[in-house]
Amino acid sequence: MHLFDRATNFYGGNAIVGGGMPLSIGLALADRMRGEDNVTACFFGEGAVAEGEFHESMNLAALWKLPVLFICENNLYAMGTALAISESETDIQRKAGCYRIASEAVDGMDVVAVEAAAHRAIHEIREHGAPYFLECRTYRLRAHSMFDAQLYRDKAEVEAWRHKDPIVRFQGWLEANHMIHPDDLGRIEAELASEIADAVAFAEAGAWEPIEQLTRFTYAERAA
């Protein structure tokens, strides 16, 4: 939850639901004040729209006209709570309209549709210097965690969504449009399997972090 890589402009995951939204506002504001032509992409789930920082961040982004692309991955369940139980308005993208932020909803299980929507959103942000809200309507095919018994949803529902698997759909789209050769597909799958195997082996062979390093990267280093 605390991955961070400044070199690639990845400013971290967050253990707090919706916690990344105020950070995105700060990053976009910093870019605006420095005159840098960047767009900050902020990802969060539909569960975050029930949090106060969602509304605070949306308000400031609109008020200050910040270049933020808000991307809501709406998978219908915030951990184990169905969207209809937690939200009076389940059409998430409409919430952006309350702050006069341009928005659209897209099939989050369609890779091509998401890419096209993202291009449109980035263009609008750069063209008008204002935030944009993109709701990707998707679904979590597996459990939320290893301790999740998934008693809150029917197995038939999961199986129905499984037929919309984005990877399988994208593969079919590539094949239908003659954009990938079967040999290339086999090579890609082999490379991915090897990369995953190497990552698992690396993790299993890893040592525990020394106690004296416990607070490293958690607090600022004291200057000498």
Mind listing the pLDDT tens digit for each residue in 179-196? 999 899 999 999 999 999
Sorted by sequence, the CB contacts under 8 Å of residue 21 that are 6+ apart come out as 42, 44, 48, 53, 54, 56, 57, 70
Residue pair 100/36 in contact (Cβ under 8 Å)? The answer is: no
User: Across the chain, what does the average pLDDT equal?
Assistant: 93
Residue 75 is assigned to a structural domain of this protein: yes
Distance CA 63, CA 131 (A): 10
97 with 194, same domain? Answer: no
Asked whether residue 79 is assigned to any structural domain, the reply reads yes
From 88, 111, 142, the end of a domain falls on 142
Question: Does residue 133 sit in the same domain as residue 177?
Answer: no
Residue 36's domain is classified under what CATH number?
Answer: 3.40.50.970
Answer whether residue 1 is part of any domain: no
pLDDT at 214 over 90: no
User: Alpha-carbon torsion 195, 115, 97, 60, what sign?
Assistant: positive
Q: Residue 116 falls within a domain, yes or no?
A: yes
Residue 48 lies in a domain: yes
Residue range 24-52: average pLDDT? 95
- Both 179 and 96 in a single domain? no
What pLDDT is attached to residue 2?
75
Segment 88-114, tens digit of pLDDT: 999 999 999 999 999 999 999 999 999
Look up the domain containing 31 and give its range: 6-142
CA distance linking residue 21 with residue 24, whole number of Å:
5
Residues in CB range of 163: below 8 A, 6 or more apart: none
Distance CA 125, CA 133 (A): 10
* pLDDT value, residue 1: 72
Total domains present in the chain: 2
Asked whether residue 224 is domain-assigned, the answer is no
For residue 33, pLDDT over 70 is answered with yes
> Is 32 part of a structural domain of the chain?
yes
Residue 166 pLDDT greater than 90, yes or no:
yes
**One domain, residues 137 and 39:** yes
- What's phi and psi for 72, nearest 5 deg? -95, 115
